[in-house]
Amino acid sequence: MNRPSPTGLPGDALRALREYPRRAPLTLVYVCVLLAGHAWLGCVLSAERAAGVLGYASTNLDNLRDHPLSALAGSVLFFDGTLTDVASPGFVGTFITLGLGVCCFLARAEYRWGKRRAVAVFLGGHVAATLLTAAVIVVALRYGWYPAAVRESLDFGISYGAQTVLAAGTPALPRRGRPLWAVFVLAWPLGGAEWSGPLPDFTTVGHLTAALIGFALPAVPALRRRRVRGGRPPGAPGSPAPEHCAG
C-alpha cells in the first residue's frame, strides 16, 4: 500500500526538492561548483594561495585592464560569505545571494525561461553591473570620492548576477508582494554601506546597478515568453497549464 504524500508546506518543500534536478539541472550543477570552490579555497589551499586565487579573479580596475575576461569569468566561480557563522552579516549575504538568488530565483528562471536565457540574465547582469561600476569608480577616483587603493580592492563573487535575477523575478511573485520585494532587493545592499562623499562604497553601487538592470529585464520580449516544453505551444492539447506564480 502506497504511503500518502505529505501535504501542506512540508509536502510542497519535499516535492520541490525532488523535482529540482529536473526543473533546474544547470543551476544545480552551478551550485555544486560554487560549493566545491568554496571548500577548495577554505579547506585545501593555504590562506596565502587562496588570497592569490581570489586576487586574480577579482574584478577590480587593475584586473579589468590586465585580464578582463579571466577576471569576469573567474569571479562567478566563488561566493563571498560564510556558510557556518550564522550570526554574521556574511551569512546573511550568503543566504540572500546564494540561497535566494542562485538556488531559488536562478533555478526558477531556468525553468521558466530555459537555460540559455537564464544564463544570459545572470551573466549579463554580472558583466554589465561590473563594468558600469568600474566606470563609476573611475569617475569617483577623479573627484577624490574613493581612495586610490580601490583600484586593486578585492571584488569577486556571484552577488551582482544574483541581484539581477532577484530583481528580474519580481513579476513572478504575487502582485501584492511585489512592491515589498522590490524594496527589499534595493534596500538590503544599503544596510552595510559605507559612504564616500555622495556615493556609497563601490560594491553597493554594483548591487544597486544590478538590481536596476534586473527590474528592467522583464520588459524584454524574449523574457516575457515562457519556455515551451514538449514542443507544443501554450494552450495546445496536452501542453502544460500556464504558470501563475513562483514554483
* pLDDT in the model for residue 200: 95
Mean pLDDT by 10 residues, the chain (247 residues): 55 80 96 97 96 96 97 96 88 95 96 95 98 97 94 95 97 94 96 89 97 93 63 41 39
188/230 Cα distance (integer angstroms)? 39
* pLDDT in the model for residue 153: 93
Phi, psi of 59, deg, nearest 5: -95, 45
DSSP 118: H
| 8 A C-beta contact, residue 144 and residue 63 | no
Where residue 130 falls (left for φ over 0; alpha for ψ -120 to 50; beta otherwise) is: alpha
* pLDDT in the model for residue 154: 92
Cα radius of gyration rounded to whole Å, the chain: 20
